[in-house]
Structure 1
Amino acid sequence: MSARRFELSRRGFLTGSLLITAGTVLTTACSTDPGGSSSAGTTLNVWYHAYGEAGAQQAVLRYAKEFTKANPDVAVKVTWVPGDYAGKLNATLLTDAAPDVFEIGDFSESLARRGQIAALDDLYGDARSDFNTNAIESVTVDGKLYGVKMVDDVMMLYYRKSALSKAGINPPTTFDELAAAAKALSTGKSKGLFLGNDGVGDSAILSVWSNGGDLVGPDGKVEFGSDRALEALKGLKRLHDDKSLLLGFTTDWWDPSALTQGVVPMQWSGLWAMPAVSSALGDDFGVLPWPAFGAGGTRAVRVGGWTSCVNAKGSKVAAAKKFVQWLWIRQSGLQQDFGGSYGLHVPPRTSVAATAKKLSTGPAKEAVSLASKYGKHNPGTWDTAVSSAFNGAAAKIVGGQGDPAALLAAAAKKAQHEIDKQLGR
């Protein structure tokens, strides 16, 4: 589930905390201090970002109730955090008010290296082999697992079947075909493709991957400064030069409205948007990976999602681990509910995903297959400083602002400096 969800831009959410003890909600969501009393010996503070999908908040409260019914000695305070979740979390982790359990988007190795989050290898047991490769690799630091993936968010290219068919265009399988299709489908004020309001979105990362390149190697060496990466980013400029991209829409790429309202026939978005796309377009849509850039390249889809972590510096590590294990490893029914009832997401456990009816047919099934074949996740060292260096250079390159090679080399140097600081070298 993306932190930037289209429903979130349309309505506000309640701010505050709710205390769950012995399966009972003791306070209201608008309270900033749960108050009340509890016979439980331990109270866990569990943080979630404000999911935009209807029912998600009620679901995590229900999960907390079920946990405390099974474990009455542990109360759970659910804190629902709207707005800049990452900023608020990072600031709070530096204080005594840090949550005991919290979720993070793209996993950050720095939390593990700073000793902020606990290794959770002991929680997995036999279930470890049931988690998909991406879910294990994305939380691994120096051979240890520092989180449990809650949901996989698959990001891919949506297209209107009828629009492409009417124009005599086949679904693109190469970048040249994508660029040609976007140009052909742009007429007058209409544009052929929506990647994001900035005209870039995920496309810079995808372009590097699709040309056989990588962002950062397993040894922490920056790789996006390679010739193949430069070639792909320079090629991405073609979409801007052709004026094929929708820019400055009312919502960004994570919201499918540009596609569902007929503003564009092709849009990059996520699996979470598929229920809304299906409701609006019926069967008149398909999904594709980002196409291979050239010879030696490969198709790519980005797999993000959310991961549950335990505060290693807190005083309730054992109880926090118990909660994470109970919810995200043992409760397959709740995992399926969380993945499929509020938007659409892929459960990281293969056995749970295999029994998810909403993922068993049509474009949703195709999306799961694409993730299995072409899924890539951002490296754990891809923090704000590193990603900003890369994205800033990419934006200038596709916008024709400066020498591409010099821009990318400078970004790679800056990113390497930031990663070296993360790794303490």
Structure 2
Amino acid sequence: MVSALGMTAVLGGCGLTGDSGDVTLRLVAADYGDSAANSSEKYWSELVETYEADHPGVKIEVSVHSWNDVDRKVKEMVEAGDAPDMAQIGAYADYADAGLLYPADELLSIPVQADFAGQFATAGQIDGTQYGMPFAASTRLLFYNKTLFAEAGLTPPTTWEELAADAAALKAEGVKYPYALPLGPEEAQAETMQWLLSGGGGYTDSSGGYGIDSPENVETFTWLRDELVGKGLTGPVAPGRLNRADAFAAFANGQVGMLNGHPSLMKIAENKGVKFGMVPMPGVDGESKATMGVADWMLAFRQNGHKEEVGEFLDFVYSDENVLGFSREYDLLPVTNSAYEVMSAADEDKALQPFLEELPLAELYPVGRTSWAQVAAEVKKRIGQAVAPGGSPSAVLGKLQTTALDAESTADADR
């Protein structure tokens, strides 16, 4: 979901309010494109043009920023006392906790709010009230290089033991990265969560609190250290220094046997002519019972008012036509039940079918916690040490658990 673009564009309405009865709504949005040809500017420009034609008293001003910049841009606007009416970004909890956001039920019509997939609606809640409106989603699958697997006489793994055996066979064939394990600072929290879930654990425990240093999680990272990294099955770059983008590029160059990937990797690999397959993440004793899901969020700030106009516009944004259009343009998964049903049955969405099948099983980051951003940053910084030679998974995960509990205590004290 990270755009290669650094551009900013302003679309629609020209920022002017026109007649005294007109309302201008400002939306700051993230760019999901990887070139000027498919920048999100194009998507929003067409959507805004259609909406304004039917709502002559409302102008929509959209500024599109790369994923490298968009969260910071919104933060700066809010801190300057100039919050946008809406922001489509990666997190919502801090703003909701500070009382800056409208709840979804004050904005959306009942059918629109009720159409959100259950796990995403729940993930958008704080204390039972939904402030984060899911906008786009993805899940993860294990990608494997069909050519390399055929040359080594392998079938895709369904268990950790099979994954390690396949990786060993690929190494024997001279594959550079038998299993690419990106635990570098770009997105280590994602690879980490996928492995934790496959080992029967996760960032949180059954009571909903942080459980980062649970026995299941320690066992998972001990296995990774000993059975993959320690046996030289993860390639020449230490996992703590391997970023996701580099791992994806290596896969597209035919240098990776297996890695966890999201839907955008399909296009990257296809463009380089790599023949690949996708299967659910293996678990300890069989296919993992849960997969990682990621959602990006739409927020509506209270500062400027315009609750009615914002709600009407968001009802339009979440119409089936627009949810389907956005999901198909960027190979993402829909966040509404109705669009999910359409895509699950449509031939044109056949390539996304494996990811769609995983969506009901998807578990999300604990994004409703204001502490999560700090915890994720610490995971990115530290988790690679857990699988390094001589590394201690229990010590590293214990430090992360302490960080999480301290961050929770600070957040509670600030309320």
* TM-score for the superposition, normalised by structure 1: 0.84
* 1:411 aligned onto 2:400: yes
- Once residues 206 and 59 of structure 2 are traced to their aligned partners in structure 1, the CA distance between those partners, rounded to angstroms, is 40
* 1:259 aligned onto 2:221: no
**Partner residue of 1:51?**
32
**Partner residue of 1:229?**
217
How big is the shift at 1:281? 4.1
Change (3 A) 1:225 1:216: same
Matches within 5 A, 1:275-286: 275-281=267-273, 284-286=275-277
How big is the shift at 1:115? 0.9
**Partner residue of 2:309?**
319
- Pick one of 125, 145, 154 that aligns with 2:139: 154
How big is the shift at 1:103? 1.1
User: Which sections of structure 2, spanning at least 5 residues, go unmatched?
Assistant: none
Alignment check: 8 A CA contact 1:204 1:391 kept: no
- Once residues 63 and 405 of structure 1 are traced to their aligned partners in structure 2, the CA distance between those partners, rounded to angstroms, is 50
Alignment check: 8 A CA contact 1:192 1:266 kept: yes
Deviates more, 1:36-45 or 1:202-211: 36-45
Matches within 5 A, 1:50-89: 50-53=31-34, 54-82=38-66, 83-89=68-74
- Pick one of 304, 316, 334 that aligns with 2:294: 304
- Once residues 395 and 247 of structure 2 are traced to their aligned partners in structure 1, the CA distance between those partners, rounded to angstroms, is 34
Q: Output the amino acid matched with 1:385.
A: Q
1:224-249 Cα distance to aligned partner (Å, 9 max, x none): 12111111111121322122224389
Alignment check: 8 A CA contact 1:47 1:101 kept: yes
* 1:179 aligned onto 2:171: no
How big is the shift at 1:155? 2.3
How large is the RMSD of aligned CA atoms in angstroms?
2.8
Change (3 A) 1:141 1:135: same
Alignment check: 8 A CA contact 1:210 1:300 kept: yes
Alignment check: 8 A CA contact 1:287 1:367 kept: no
**Partner residue of 1:196?**
182
Deviates more, 1:61-70 or 1:215-224: 215-224
How big is the shift at 1:285? 2.1
Alignment check: 8 A CA contact 2:157 2:282 kept: yes
How big is the shift at 1:179? 2.2
- Pick one of 126, 133, 137 that aligns with 2:111: 126
How big is the shift at 1:379? 0.8
- Once residues 306 and 236 of structure 1 are traced to their aligned partners in structure 2, the CA distance between those partners, rounded to angstroms, is 29
- Pick one of 155, 170, 173 that aligns with 1:170: 155
Alignment check: 8 A CA contact 1:17 1:79 kept: yes
* 1:213 aligned onto 2:201: yes
* 1:397 aligned onto 2:386: yes
Change (3 A) 1:251 1:398: closer
* TM-score for the superposition, normalised by structure 2: 0.86
Give aligned pairs, total: 397
The secondary structure found in structure 2 opposite 1:265 is strand
Larger relative helix fraction: 2
- Once residues 225 and 252 of structure 1 are traced to their aligned partners in structure 2, the CA distance between those partners, rounded to angstroms, is 24
Change (3 A) 1:189 1:287: closer
- Once residues 219 and 104 of structure 1 are traced to their aligned partners in structure 2, the CA distance between those partners, rounded to angstroms, is 28
The secondary structure found in structure 2 opposite 1:192 is strand
- Pick one of 357, 364, 367 that aligns with 1:369: 357
- Once residues 103 and 271 of structure 2 are traced to their aligned partners in structure 1, the CA distance between those partners, rounded to angstroms, is 42
- Pick one of 355, 365, 385 that aligns with 2:374: 385
- Once residues 254 and 355 of structure 1 are traced to their aligned partners in structure 2, the CA distance between those partners, rounded to angstroms, is 34
Q: Output the amino acid matched with 1:397.
A: A
1:240-295 Cα distance to aligned partner (Å, 9 max, x none): 2122224389983487432232121223221133234345447x322122221358
- Once residues 219 and 420 of structure 1 are traced to their aligned partners in structure 2, the CA distance between those partners, rounded to angstroms, is 17
Q: Output the amino acid matched with 2:257.
A: P
- Once residues 104 and 123 of structure 2 are traced to their aligned partners in structure 1, the CA distance between those partners, rounded to angstroms, is 13
- Once residues 339 and 254 of structure 1 are traced to their aligned partners in structure 2, the CA distance between those partners, rounded to angstroms, is 25
The secondary structure found in structure 1 opposite 2:79 is coil
